[in-house]
Amino acid sequence: MFRFFKIKKWFVWSWLGSLIILSSLWVQVKIDVKINEWFGVFYDMIQKALASPNAITIEEYWSSLASFITLAGMYIALYVAISFFTAHYLFRWRTAMVEWYHSVYDSAGKIEGASQRVQEDTIKFTRIMEGLGTSFVESVMVLIQFVPILFGLSVGIPIYFFGDWQYGLITGALIWTLGGTLFLIGLGWILRLVGVEYDLQKKEAAYRKILVIAEDDESVRPKTIDELFADVRSIHFLSYIRYLYFNVGRMAYLQANVLSAYVFLAPAIVAGVVTLGVMQQIIRAFGRVEGSMQYLLKAWPTIIELASVYKRLREFESQINKDEFIDEKI
């Protein structure tokens, strides 16, 4: 799977492409920081206008909105460019995988489910990585940028449970997020979600294979096909039940998460020690930090699917090497 980074043919796309994506994501996060600053200035202006009529001019109001439109336009343009480039980057990655599979397919094709590994799992791998990989990198960059901002904004502000401790907001976000993430990871482990997803794909592959064989072999009994589909049905129903329990816990936490920043800021809001602009900046920065820390939590179903795809592809490649179908080419 990772020959993409080892083969000289793909050196420019793999390493230079990775650098371009990382650099672009960093610039995107920096723009997001500027947008967060804009929220503070804009809502302070709104508070000033509401407290004292005609305290601001209409030109100042339109100018502030124009500033946001400029920042938002830059963010959107960069987001679209990153998405476009990442899609091409990952298709090259898939091409590197598929080219190797094609070179060994005369022998590897004897492995059960080989066609599914080469066609379906490679495209699943790249599609999941397209969203999951960039989201992970962006989450790390958001933490690097927004944690100092949140720390600076929370100095001298009373925080629920932590009082005037300067690290209160950061610690609160960490405890809340880490607790939720560990809870969901533990729930996923108890419900064996990765194992269920893996078994589901294996049974689907067996059912697909017998259907292909039945097209050319009339001796295949309908009963055999029905039995395999019964296996598919049972594993799907088991998956539905497992994800039902998982989603109850996941959605309950995410809904409670909406109020978390307001809970921590309750003493400061009631005491009136923050302006509307500062409150908006803190809540947005808190949300960005919290959202990045919750990366595993929000992406957990996708991570489970990726883990299942990775496991199948690794087993496929291991089987090729184990049976010594070819000498691995790099």
| CA triple 242-246-249, angle to 5 deg | 150
Cα–Cα distance, 307 to 9 (Å, whole number): 28
Q: Find the distance separating the first CA and the last CA of the chain, reported in whole Å.
A: 12
| pLDDT tens digits, one per residue of 224-258 | 777 778 888 888 888 888 888 888 888 888 788 88
Specify the pLDDT at position 225.
Answer: 73
Cα–Cα distance, 301 to 241 (Å, whole number): 14
Specify the pLDDT at position 283.
Answer: 86
Specify the pLDDT at position 70.
Answer: 95
Specify the pLDDT at position 326.
Answer: 46
Specify the pLDDT at position 116.
Answer: 60
Specify the pLDDT at position 275.
Answer: 82
Q: Which residue has the tokens 């294996």?
A: 202
Cα–Cα distance, 246 to 133 (Å, whole number): 23
Cα–Cα distance, 108 to 110 (Å, whole number): 5
Cα–Cα distance, 48 to 296 (Å, whole number): 40
| pLDDT tens digits, one per residue of 52-71 | 888 888 999 999 999 999 99
Specify the pLDDT at position 74.
Answer: 95
CA distances (Å), 33 to each of 40, 243, 283, 291, 305, in order? 11, 36, 13, 15, 32
- Low-confidence residues of the chain, pLDDT below 50? 324-330
Domains, the chain: 3-322 (1.20.1560.10)
| CA triple 162-164-168, angle to 5 deg | 45
Cα–Cα distance, 80 to 56 (Å, whole number): 36
Specify the pLDDT at position 323.
Answer: 58
